Amino acid sequence: MGQPALTLEIDRRAKLLRRGGRLEYFTVAYNSLEGLIAVVAGLIAGSIALVGFGFDSVIEVTSGAVLLWRLRADPDHARRERAEKFSLRIVGLCFLALAAYVGCESVSLLARREAPERSLPGIALAAVSLVVMPLLARAKRRIARAIASAALKADAKQTEFCTYLSAVLLAGLILNAALGWWWADPVAGLAMAPIIAREGVEAVRGEPCACHAPAPLTPGPASRSRA
């Protein structure tokens, strides 16, 4: 590889890393606001699924912060590998804690037959996240493939996983608000718990999540043209 080609490749990777950094900054900012709204609205309405969704946002913030560290460590291969393993384990442990919390509280609410209040802010929040999260996940996947980052790929899957939580949450809140099905909210929480736990176990083990078949991490077009 000639020096000009090497310089172009370094510049291209630097641009991708900056783009990935902007996505993670957006992740941290959006999920901080999302988490605050979800927890406050959930506590007011007595909605365990909504509070659980807020805690998931906290996990997204944690993951985003870890990925920012990983992207900054990219020039050093040894630091890059450590950052990827560390981020997977931290996110996995957070998911396991969240699964335990959501599962226990959902069972408790079902046993006490406590009905949450209707939460229009919660419904609006879940609807917005149902649009934002898939777009953010797709953008992260593009960068992950381009720089061959397993950690960023896992973070993208986690963001995509938030889409499923948004759908489950939205269904539970709407059923409670429209039909008065008080049990829909804790049942939604119970539906979240095993999915969250599976994600956590796989992340702690350093495995890709089972939400989708893992996509191959291929080099960018510039690298393929030189192969």
pLDDT, one tens digit per residue, over 95-123 is 788 788 878 878 887 887 766 677 888 88
Q: Which domain holds residue 164?
A: 3-206
Question: Is residue 212 a part of any domain in this protein?
Answer: no
Give per-residue pLDDT as tens, 21-78.
999 999 999 999 999 999 998 888 877 778 878 888 888 898 888 888 888 877 777 7
pLDDT of residue 115: 65
Q: How far apart are CA 36 and CA 193, in angstroms?
A: 21
Question: Is residue 220 a part of any domain in this protein?
Answer: no
Task: Say which residue, 185 or 227, is predicted with more confidence.
Answer: 185
Task: Scan for tokens 């539906």, then name that residue.
Answer: 191
Question: Is residue 211 a part of any domain in this protein?
Answer: no
Mean pLDDT of the region 160-179: 82
- Name the pTM for this structure: 0.73
Question: Is residue 219 a part of any domain in this protein?
Answer: no
Give per-residue pLDDT as tens, 18-27.
999 999 999 9
Give per-residue pLDDT as tens, 117-154.
778 888 899 999 999 999 999 999 999 888 888 778 87
Question: Is residue 224 a part of any domain in this protein?
Answer: no
pLDDT of residue 148: 81
Question: Is residue 227 a part of any domain in this protein?
Answer: no
Residue whose C-alpha is closest to residue 155's, from 129, 128, 142, 137? 137
The answer to whether 168 and 180 have CB atoms below 8 angstroms apart is no
pLDDT of residue 226: 42
Question: Is residue 214 a part of any domain in this protein?
Answer: no
pLDDT of residue 207: 57
Q: How far apart are CA 134 and CA 138, in angstroms?
A: 6
Question: Is residue 45 a part of any domain in this protein?
Answer: yes
SS3 annotation, 96-163: HHHHHHHHHHHHHHHHHCCCCCCCHHHHHHHHHHHHHHHHHHHHHHHHHHHHCCHHHHHHHHHHHHHH
**Domains in the chain, number:** 1
